Copies of this chain bind each other. A is one copy, B any other.
Amino acid sequence: MADTTAHTVKSFDEDIAQLRSIITRMGGLCEVQIAGAVDALVSRNVDAAMRVVEADARIDLLEAEAEALAVRIIALRAPLAGDLREIVAALKIAGVLERIGDYAKNIAKRASALAMAPPIEPVIIVPEMARAVIGMIKDVLDAFVDRDVQLAKAVCDRDQRVDDLYNSLFRSLLTFMMENPHYITPSTHLLFVAKNLERIGDHATSVGEMVHFAVTGIHIVDRPKTDDTSTYSNTPLVPPVA
């Protein structure tokens, strides 16, 4: 009887390890996709951008695999309390990573469009935003695998810097568009690219909150949002001073 119990426990751990490994692979692909999309954007490389668009399907497949495995674990093992919380967190994290992959794909699509337009200067802030969110994804998934609540919280705090970069780029782009109305189309694409990266930061933060809940059973108290551009309205009729 002791043997059976040990066997069951061991198999459950193996199941969880497999689920964590799928999530880690999804996270690694997301990092590669974001970096690839932003490289294609900066180097104005349409072929590279197209490869990123095509590669997104692999993240979608892994999400379906994670979901199927999570459901199988629940059905076969009927896990309780902490174990169940971890599986539900894995299910939700897989969903978030799938969306992060979609954002990377969208950046790559816009990179193709931008490669056909004349280069615009505010693009230089984009790689810095990308590095910041890639670091957040990497660390928040380490926190998930290691059940490291402190690291998960630290990642949440780093979203502030992504929001600051976004706010700065948003304002630069508005000024740039007002001064160069002919560049409005590429600037608009870059605005959405920046918004996608800002949303990736939000999603990495929400994963941090999921990890915190999975490990402790307690929700992190709501942090304030610091993307303040949605209420940005000062003197819209007067272009800001450059």
State whether the Cβ of A67 lies closer than 8 Å to any Cβ in chain B. yes
Q: Give chain B residues whose Cβ lies under 8 Å from the Cβ of A118.
A: 236-237
The residue from B71, B186, B189 contacting A230, defined by CB atoms under 8 A apart: B189
Q: CA separation between A88 and B118, bound complex, in Å?
A: 47
Q: Give chain B residues whose Cβ lies under 8 Å from the Cβ of A192.
A: 195, 230
Q: CA separation between A67 and B87, bound complex, in Å?
A: 13
Q: Give chain B residues whose Cβ lies under 8 Å from the Cβ of A181.
A: 177-178, 181, 184, 239
Q: Which partner residue on chain B sits nearest A92 by CB separation?
A: B95
Which of A81, A95, A118 is the most central at the interface, judged by chain B CB atoms within 10 Å of its CB?
A: A95
Of A105-113, A126-134, A152-160, the stretch lying at the interface with chain B is: A105-113
Q: Which partner residue on chain B sits nearest A173 by CB separation?
A: B188
Q: Is A113 in contact with B239, judged by CB distance below 8 angstroms? A: no
The size class of the interface chain A forms with chain B is: 35 or more
Q: How far is the CB of A11 from chain B (nearest CB, A)?
A: 17
**Given A182-B178, A184-B184, A117:B233 Cβ within 8 A:** yes
Q: What are 11 contact pairs spanning A and B, CB under 8 A?
A: A75-B78, A75-B81, A109-B230, A110-B230, A112-B231, A178-B184, A181-B239, A182-B238, A188-B191, A189-B232, A192-B230
Which residues on A are within 8 Å of B, measured CB to CB? Answer: 64, 67, 70-71, 74-75, 78, 80-81, 84-85, 88, 91-92, 95, 106, 109-110, 112-114, 116-118, 174, 177-178, 181-186, 188-189, 191-192, 195, 219, 230-233, 236-239
